[in-house]
Chains A and B, each alone.
Chain A
C-alpha cells in the first residue's frame, strides 16, 4: 500500500490586480508563505512542480528561493495546471522520490478574454480567424445545451454568481469582494448568452503554493496536517464535449471530470455524500452547475432545487466555493487549482473565519477543469 501524503504548508498571494508585482513575485511570496507554514526551508525540498501560463517559467522561482539543484518540473495543463502539479507532487512522495515536495503556481494575464492560437492546439487557422475559438463561447454552448436537456433556468445561473460574490465578500484574499443583487447579475452585459458579464470569471493575477510530505511524519511539521486521500488527473475521451471542438462526435461520451471524479472517490474510499465542503471549477455559472453533477454531487437537473433551497451556501448541506471560487477570485491559470486546495485546507483546519463552514468538516473536495479537456480532482481529509 502506497503511503499517504499530507499537506503541511499552504501559502497564497491574494488574487486580483497587482500592478507593481510580477506574476513570479507573487508566486515567490506564496511559496515563502507555504514554507513558513510548514516550518521548513527551501533547501529541504526534494522536488517541485509548478506552472504559469503567461508569467514565465515556474522554475524561475529558483532564482528567488535559491539554486539548490532540486528537480523542478514546469507544468502546463491549461486551467488544470495547479491540479496537475499537485497530483505530480503527491505521486513523487508516494513513490519515495522525495521527502518534501512543492506544488506551486502563479500568473499574471493581460486584461480581457484569453486569445488562444489555433496551431498551439492542433487546430487550423480559420477556426480562430473566423471567431469560433473562444473559451467563453464553449462555456455558453455547453451551458445552453445542458439547460435544455436538464431543465435548468437562467435563475440558477444568477444564483451561482450571487453566492460566489457573497462568499467572496467574506474572503480577505478574494479579488471581487462586493455582494451583487439578483438584478445586477441578471441584467449585466450579455457576453455569450445565456452567460452574462457577472456570470464569468476574469483572467487575473495571484500565486499559490503547497508543501507536502509523507503523512506519517507530518505532525512534526504542522499541528493540523491535511491528508491527500486522492489526487487524480484525467484528459478528455473521444466524444466528450470539450473546449476548442470544431465539431462534436455523433455519440457523446462523459467529460473527463466524470472519470477523474470516479477515480478519486475510488482511490479515497469515500463517496460524494461524505464530502463536507467542496470547490468546483466555476469559470462561469453554467460550468459550476454542470460540474455539480459531473462530480457526482447531484443528479442532472437537481441543481435547480439545491441552489434555490440554499443547500450550496456556507451553512448548507453542500457548501460550494466558500472562498468565492473563480467568479470572485478571478482566474490566474497557474495558481487557480492550488487556491482551491488551499481553501479546503483552511476550512478543514477550521481557520476560515467569517466563511468557515459550521460543524466539524472532515472531508473536502476540489475540482479544476482546463483546456483542452483536462480535469483534476483531489479529496482531502483532516
Chain B
C-alpha cells in the first residue's frame, strides 16, 4: 500500500509501515532539531546531518484546541463542522520535545507522562485525495 501524502513530506520516514519523525543533528555539538534545521542555534555551526527521532515518546504537555483557527489553518472544516483537537509536546528518546497533534481531544484521557506512538492522520481532503499530518496516539504496546 502506498504511504499517505503528507503536508510536510520531509518530516517522516518509514520503516516498513511504521512512520518515524526525521529531524537533524548538529555535527559539531550534537544538538537535535525538529524539523530539520540548516544551522545550530546552540553553537552556530552549519554542518547538520539527518536524524531519526523514532516513533515513540511520552506526553510532556498538552492542550485541546477549542476553537477553529483562522487561515493559514486549511483543514476545510467550517465553524459548524470543526471538532476540537489535541495538541501536545511529546518528549522523544533524545530528549527533544516535538509539538504535534494528538489523536485524543478528551481531557480525561490525557496525562503528562503517558506513552505515545506516532501515527498519520488525514487532516484535509483535496481533489487528489486526503492529505495527512503526523500525530501521536496512546501507545498500543510496550
Residues of A contacting B23 with CB < 8 Å? 247
A181-199 near B? 1/0 per residue, CB < 8 Å: 0000000011111110000
Cβ of A142: which chain B residues have Cβ within 8 Å of it? Answer: 61
B8–A192 CB distance below 8 A:
no
Which residues from A are CB-within-8-Å of B75? 131
* Chain A interface bracket (under 10, 10 to 19, 20 to 34, 35 or more): 35 or more
How far is B89's CA from A245's CA once the two chains are assembled, in angstroms?
Answer: 10
Instruction: Confirm or deny: A141 has a beta carbon within 8 angstroms of a beta carbon on chain B.
Output: yes
Q: Are B74 and A248 in contact (CB-based, < 8 A)? A: no
Q: Is B11 an interface residue (CB 8 A)?
A: yes
State A195–B72 Cα separation when bound (angstroms): 23
A residues touching B (Cβ–Cβ < 8 Å)? 112-113, 115, 117-118, 124-126, 128-134, 137, 140-142, 144-145, 148, 189-195, 238-239, 245-251
Beyond A239-B42, A250-B95, whether A193 also contacts B66 by CB under 8 A is yes
Contacting pair A129 B62 (CB below 8 A): no
Cβ-based interface call for B104 (8 A) = no
Q: CA separation between A141 and B112, bound complex, in Å?
A: 11
Of B60, B100, B107, B112, the residue contacting A193 (CB under 8 A) is: B107
Chain B contacts for A124, CB-based, 8 A: 8, 35
Contact across chains for B66 and A131 when beta carbons are under 8 A apart = no
Whether the pair A129, B72 counts as a contact (CB closer than 8 A) is: yes
> Known contacts being A191-B66, A193-B63, is A126 close to B33, with CB within 8 Å?
no
Chain B: which residue is nearest A125 at the CB level?
A: B72
Contact status of A130 and B70, CB under 8 A, knowing A141-B62, A248-B97? no
Interchain CB contact under 8 A, B61 and A131: no
Contact residues on B (Cβ < 8 Å of other chain), bracket = 35 or more
Specify the chain B residue showing the minimal Cβ separation from A112: B70
Contact of A144 among B8, B35, B62, B72 (CB under 8 A): B62
User: Would you give the shortest CB distance from B28 to chain A, in whole angstroms?
Assistant: 13
Residues in B neighbouring A145, C-beta threshold 8 A: 60-61, 89, 112
Evaluate contact between A238 and B101: CB separation under 8 angstroms.
no
Q: In the bound complex, how far is the Cα of B72 from the Cα of A246, in angstroms?
A: 16
A141:B63 contact, CB within 8 angstroms: yes
- Whether the Cβ atoms of A128 and B66 lie closer than 8 Å is no
Contact residues in B for A148 (Cβ distance below 8 Å) = 61, 112
Nearest CB on B from A189, distance (A): 7
Given contacts A131-B101, A144-B61, contact A238 B42 (CB under 8 A): yes
Q: How far is the CA of A207 from the CA of B33 in the complex (A)?
A: 40
CB distance from A120 to the nearest CB of B (A): 11
Determine whether the beta carbon of B42 is less than 8 Å from that of A249. Answer: yes
- Cβ of B55 within 8 Å of any chain A Cβ, yes or no, is no
Please state if A130 and B123 are interface contacts (CB–CB under 8 Å): yes
Query: Nearest A residue to B97 by beta-carbon distance?
Result: A248
Additional A-B contact list (16), CB under 8 Å, known A126-B11, A132-B100? A113-B67, A115-B73, A126-B8, A129-B74, A134-B65, A145-B61, A192-B64, A192-B65, A247-B23, A247-B89, A247-B98, A248-B60, A249-B95, A249-B96, A250-B32, A251-B95
Task: Report the separation of the CA atoms of residues A251 and B96 in the bound assembly, to the nearest whole angstrom.
Answer: 8
Q: Are A192 and B98 closer than 8 Å at their CB atoms?
A: no
Contact A238:B41 (CB < 8 A) given known A132-B99, A141-B63, A192-B65 = yes
- Closest-by-CB residue of A relative to B53 is A247
Q: Is B1 an interface residue (CB 8 A)?
A: no
Residue in A128, A131, A192 with the greatest tally of chain B CB atoms within 10 Å:
A131
Q: Is the CB of A190 within 8 A of B66?
A: yes
- For chain B residues 30-51, which have a beta carbon within 8 Å of chain A? 31-35, 41-42
Establish whether residues A247 and B61, one from each chain, have CB atoms under 8 Å apart when the complex forms.
no
Q: For residue B34, which residues in chain A have a CB less than 8 angstroms away from its CB? A: 246-247
* C-alpha spacing A113/B123, complex, angstroms: 21
Question: In the complex, what's the smallest C-beta–C-beta distance from A211 to chain B, in angstroms?
Answer: 37
B139 CB within 8 Å of chain A: no
From residue B30, how far is it (CB to closest CB) to chain A in Å? 10
25 contacts between A and B (CB under 8 A): A112-B70, A115-B70, A115-B73, A118-B72, A124-B35, A125-B7, A130-B8, A130-B101, A130-B123, A131-B73, A141-B87, A141-B88, A144-B62, A189-B66, A192-B63, A192-B64, A193-B66, A238-B41, A246-B34, A247-B98, A248-B97, A248-B99, A249-B95, A250-B96, A250-B97
- Bound CA span A364–B98, Å: 39
Contact indicator A137/B63 (Cβ below 8 Å):
yes
Q: Which of A126, A134, A148, A195 has the most CB of B within 10 A?
A: A126
Q: For B100, give the chain A residue with the smallest CB separation.
A: A132
